């Protein structure tokens, strides 16, 4: 079970993602305002962050960049889940530090698999850091 924060201002999308990932055994909180989301992520330090690009307050790309510059969150897996399609938006997100990029609409199984992969990578990275200490 992972603690996940999903930054999304569309109530329907937030409910769908929360339901899909809750059924997969995760705890999911949905936050609809970017500035509040950033502050909550830094304070709560979730296991995974899922970001929409277009949220009020601080946009998803800005949250991504700030999380990658914040020592407490720079290794937190981040999945972009957005309606913005195309190679350029995906490339921009990946260059800014996203671990994965998924567009809406999405297949629920695909989301669950990508979340599992991101969490597995986090676990592997944390395990390597512990062994090196």
pLDDT digits (tens, 9 = 90+) for 76-114: 999 999 988 889 999 999 999 999 999 999 999 999 999
pTM for the whole thing? Answer: 0.90
| Domains of the chain, CATH where assigned | 3-132 (3.40.50.2300)
One-character DSSP codes across 8-62: -S-HHHHHHHHHHHHHTT-EEEEE--HHHHHHHHHHH--SEEEE-S--SSS-HHH
Q: Read off the pLDDT of each residue in 61-75 and give the average, rounded to a whole number.
A: 96
């Amino acid at each position: 079970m992972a603690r996940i924060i999903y930054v999304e201002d569309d109530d329907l999308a937030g409910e769908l993602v929360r339901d899909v990932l809750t059924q997969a055994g995760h705890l999911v909180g949905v936050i609809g305002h970017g500035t509040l989301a950033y502050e909550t992520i830094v304070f709560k330090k979730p296991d995974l962050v899922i970001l929409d690009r277009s949220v009020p307050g601080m946009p998803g790309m800005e949250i991504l960049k700030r999380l990658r510059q914040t020592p407490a969150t720079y290794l937190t897996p981040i999945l972009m889940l957005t309606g913005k399609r195309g190679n350029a938006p995906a490339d921009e997100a990946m260059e800014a530090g996203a671990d994965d990029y998924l567009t809406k609409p999405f297949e629920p199984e695909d989301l669950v698999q990508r979340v599992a992969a991101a969490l597995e990578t986090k676990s592997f990275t944390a395990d390597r850091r512990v062994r090196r200490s």
